[in-house]
Chains A and B, each alone.
Chain A
Amino acid sequence: MTELLAIRSLSGFYGASQVLHDVSFSVRRGEQVALLGRNGMGKTTLMKSIIGLLGDRRGGITINKLDMINAKPEAIAQAGVAYVPEGRGVFGSLNVVENLVMAARAGADGRRDWTLDRVFEVFPRLHQRRGNGGHQLSGGEQQMLSIGRALMTNPDLILIDEATEGLAPLVAQEIWRTLGVIRDEGIATIVVDKDLRSLSKIVDRTVLLSKGQIVFEGAPSELLAQPLLLEKHLGV
């Protein structure tokens, strides 16, 4: 499989404080990667650097072989990356349809697989609430909307931060189901979540961060076979 995202010796800073140290890993087309680590270890910061929202990042990032280390977020998104941020980032003053339509775009290779109808097919709940304002939605609905909106950009890679944080178990299950749909579509994802068990069912690979450095990289089964690592870096 071909390489989609390649990160080489990436450092990330907030002002003077360095949060990411020499991070290197890559994601192949259609690959599902879990990004793990305790709170404050740099998962969100890493996602922000990939999408271009972290101002100060150094090292190498390529997407589809294009150099993106100094690119603006809009250029990175146009190259095929979509972002589902921590806190969902739904536009509260726009209704469900508007949230989706404003993002609609052909993919980096011109594909238009994902349309409003397709998104409503995957998320019937969003169809029911299509006229409601973003601020009127429940947490689960907002997360569906944020994922649906990412799909509307016809991306090759979706970054999903804290996929099920704060969601009731049933709603979380619904999110895991849709992550399965996304995987079956051949869209690559990098997912952050605390639910290691659900994650390990859908991902091909795990990347474990500690203090802004990668301390483990491998298949979920390999990670689960290392109780010391799990205990030390995830507290499970």
Chain B
Amino acid sequence: MSAITFAVQLLNGVQYGLVLFLVASGLTLVFGILGVINLAHGAFYMLGAYFAWWIAAYTGSFLMALIGGVALSFMLGLLLENVFVRRLYGRDHLAQVLLSFGLILVVDELRQILFGKDVYSVKPPPWLEGSIQLTDNLSYPVYRLALCLFCLVLAALIFYVIQRTKLGMIIRAGAENRDMTRALGIPFDSVNRYVFAGGIALAALGGILVSPISTVYPGMGDGMLILSFVVVVLGGIGSVAGAAIGALLIGLTDTFGKVFFPQVSSILIYVLMAGVLLWRPNGILGKREA
């Protein structure tokens, strides 16, 4: 493999990992802070992509689709938290699995009513179309590069909010000891609501961002859900930094696995997960106890 193909695969792996990180960070936040296992996370990834297709079809603008899709998903998240999800706090996992499984059906039905079950594609913004010629017979799409950059900026923003802002401190404190946080006067119910909606918005954002490089189809969230769970478990439940490491590991393993070991590539990430969990049962950055 030449250095340049290697670099291209590396870029692909990183880009895949970054999108996975966005989606998984939403899942890990909801899991770590609300204590809710949201099986419908992948469904919102799918719904986000459909929102993007729909808005882009009407406005002809990918940027509008991006902003509108995220905003719609965020509002849907606020609504669902208020109506359904808040009933799950402190409930056992069975109740959570049942309700969030129900949410998958609701979101799927919503997609069916609004958009049908057709497969679509979304055009990237015109200024990000085209490719960069790397060698005579190798080029790299500009959109994928921009996607990497955008995800990196967003990841930095997520880390900034969580590590440096008062909101982030409150979120981390609440993940550790919700009662103490409330006893200090923080209305954790509304923090929960925004974290849930933010998590949903991140899932949707992932779906929107990949819509120009993959197709938009009804089952696109299923694989993403499973991968996100692998990332969350790998990184340590509730740890955003862990999710970043886990997502990049999965992205690179999957991409290079397909290149070097095509026969076994589909099981490689699970082998990786099993290996990591043997080494650190609570995930790479998971809490030691508990």
Which of B65-73, B122-130, B180-188 lies at the interface with chain A?
A: B180-188
Which chain A residues numbered 62 to 106 have a C-beta less than 8 Å away from chain B?
72-74, 77-78, 82-83, 85, 89, 91-94, 98-99, 101-105
Contact A105 B185 (CB under 8 A): yes
Contact A74 B188 (CB under 8 A): yes
Contact A101 B169 (CB under 8 A): yes
Contact A91 B180 (CB under 8 A): yes
Given A73-B179, A101-B166, A93:B185 Cβ within 8 A: no
Residue from B172, B182, B184 within 8 A of A153 (CB atoms)? B184
For A104, list chain B residues within 8 Å (CB): 166
For B169, list chain A residues within 8 Å (CB): 94, 98, 101-102
For B186, list chain A residues within 8 Å (CB): 74, 77, 102-103
Residue from B172, B176, B182 within 8 A of A73 (CB atoms)? B182
How many chain A residues touch B (CB < 8 A): the figure is 26
- In the complex, A101→B177 CA distance in Å? 16
Given A77-B183, A78-B185, A102-B184, A93:B176 Cβ within 8 A: yes
- In the complex, A30→B182 CA distance in Å? 24
Contact A73 B183 (CB under 8 A): yes
For B187, list chain A residues within 8 Å (CB): 72, 74
- In the complex, A112→B66 CA distance in Å? 41
For B170, list chain A residues within 8 Å (CB): 102
Contact B173 A102 (CB under 8 A): yes
Shortest Cβ distance from B289 into chain A, in angstroms? 10
Chain A residue with Cβ nearest B287: A93
Residue from B166, B175, B184 within 8 A of A77 (CB atoms)? B184
For A89, list chain B residues within 8 Å (CB): 177, 180, 183
For A82, list chain B residues within 8 Å (CB): 183-184
For A98, list chain B residues within 8 Å (CB): 169, 172-173
Q: Which of B177, B179, B182, B184 has the most CB of A within 10 A?
A: B184
For A78, list chain B residues within 8 Å (CB): 185
For A53, list chain B residues within 8 Å (CB): 179, 182-183
A57 within 8 A of B: no
Residue from A74, A102, A150 within 8 A of B182 (CB atoms)? A74
Q: Which of B166, B170, B183 has the most CB of A within 10 A?
A: B183
Chain B residue with Cβ nearest A154: B185
A205 within 8 A of B: no
Chain A residue with Cβ nearest B186: A74
For B177, list chain A residues within 8 Å (CB): 89, 91
Which chain A residues numbered 41 to 69 have a C-beta less than 8 Å away from chain B?
51-53
Residue from B184, B188, B189 within 8 A of A103 (CB atoms)? B184
For B185, list chain A residues within 8 Å (CB): 74, 77-78, 103, 105, 153
Shortest Cβ distance from B243 into chain A, in angstroms? 16
Given A74-B186, A78-B185, A91-B173, A85:B180 Cβ within 8 A: yes
The interface bits of chain A over 133-155 (1 if a CB of B lies within 8 angstroms of the residue's CB, else 0) are 00000000000000001100100
Contact A93 B184 (CB under 8 A): no
For B173, list chain A residues within 8 Å (CB): 91, 94, 98-99, 102
Shortest Cβ distance from A165 into chain B, in angstroms? 17
Given A91-B177, A93-B176, A51:B183 Cβ within 8 A: yes
B residues sitting closer than 8 Å to A (CB atoms) are: 166, 169-170, 172-173, 175-177, 179-189
A residues sitting closer than 8 Å to B (CB atoms) are: 51-53, 72-74, 77-78, 82-83, 85, 89, 91-94, 98-99, 101-105, 149-150, 153
The 4 A-B pairs at the shortest CB distance, nearest first, are namely A77-B185, A102-B169, A73-B182, A89-B180
**7 A–B contacts from the bound complex (CB under 8 Å):** A53-B179, A72-B187, A72-B189, A73-B182, A83-B180, A98-B173, A101-B166
